[in-house]
Chain A
Amino acid sequence: MFDIIRQLEAVGGTEPAVAMATVVAVRGPAPGREGSKMFVLPGGAVVGSVTLGGCIDARAIGEADAVLASGEPRLLTLDLAEEEATEIGFSCAGTIELLVERLELSPDAPLWASYRRIVSEEEAEGACLVRLLRDPARVLWVLSDGRSDGSLGSASIDAAARAHASAAIARGTSGTQPLGDGEPAASRALFEVFRAPPRLIVVGAGPVSVPLVELGRTLGFRITVLDPRPRLARPERFPGAAEVQAGMVSELLSKEPLGPSTAVILTIHDPKVEVPALRALLDSRVGYLGMLGSRRRGRAVLGALADAGLGAEALSRVHVPVGLDIGARSPAEIALSALAELIAVTRGAPGGSLAAGKPERKRGAA
Chain B
Amino acid sequence: MIDLYGQVIADHFRHPRNRGALDAADVSHEDANALCGDRVRFELRVVGGQVVAARFAAEACAVATAAASLLTVLVEGLSVDRAAALPEDTLLSALGTTLRPARVGCARLPLDVLRAAVAKHEGNRR
Contacts and interface: CB of A to CB of B under 8 A. Distances in A.
Interface string A233-253: 000000000000011111100
Given A228-B39, A247-B39, A248-B39, A272 B34 contact: no
B38 interface: yes
A1 interface: no
A272 B32 contact: no
Given A246-B32, A248-B30, A228 B38 contact: yes
Nearest to B41: A248
A358 interface: no
A227 B37 contact: yes
B122 interface: no
Interface residues of A, number: 16
B37 A229 contact: yes
Given A229-B32, A230-B32, A248 B37 contact: no
Contacts of B39: 228, 247-248
Contacts of B8: none
Contacts, number: 36
Contacts of B52: none
Contact of B61 (A231, A250, A251, A272): A272
Contacts of A247: 30, 39
A78 B113 CA distance: 69
A276 B65 CA distance: 13
A230 B38 CA distance: 11
A251 B65 CA distance: 16
Interface in A261-301: 268, 270, 272-273, 276
Q: Which of B34, B37, B61 has the most CB of A within 10 A?
A: B37
Given A228-B39, A229-B37, A273-B37, A250 B32 contact: no
Contact of B59 (A230, A231, A250): A250
A322 B34 CA distance: 26
B60 interface: yes
B57 A272 contact: no
A336 B34 CA distance: 28
A229 B59 contact: no
Interface residues of B, number: 13
Contact of A230 (B34, B61, B65): B34
Contacts of B65: 272
Contacts of B60: 272
B3 to A, nearest CB: 15
Contacts of A246: 32
A248 B64 CA distance: 14
B125 to A, nearest CB: 26
A248 B34 contact: no
A252 to B, nearest CB: 10
Contacts of B59: 228, 248-250, 272-273, 276
A273 B39 CA distance: 10
B38 A272 contact: yes
A249 B30 CA distance: 13
A232 to B, nearest CB: 8
Contacts of B34: 229-231
Interface string B55-94: 0010111000100000000000000000000000000000
Interface in B12-57: 30, 32, 34-35, 37-39, 41, 57
Given A247-B39, A272-B38, A228 B32 contact: yes
Contacts of A249: 59
Interface centre among A270, A272, A273 (most CB of B within 10 A): A272
A248 B60 CA distance: 10
Which 9 A-B residue pairs are closest in the complex by CB-CB distance?
A228-B37, A228-B39, A229-B37, A231-B34, A228-B32, A272-B59, A248-B39, A248-B59, A273-B59
Interface of A: 227-231, 246-251, 268, 270, 272-273, 276
Given A228-B37, A228-B59, A229-B32, 16 more contacts: A227-B37, A229-B34, A229-B35, A230-B32, A247-B39, A248-B39, A248-B41, A248-B57, A248-B59, A249-B59, A251-B57, A268-B37, A270-B37, A272-B37, A272-B60, A273-B37
Interface of B: 30, 32, 34-35, 37-39, 41, 57, 59-61, 65
22 contacts: A227-B37, A228-B32, A228-B38, A228-B39, A228-B59, A229-B32, A229-B34, A229-B37, A230-B32, A231-B34, A231-B35, A246-B32, A247-B39, A248-B30, A248-B39, A248-B41, A250-B59, A270-B37, A272-B37, A272-B38, A272-B60, A272-B65
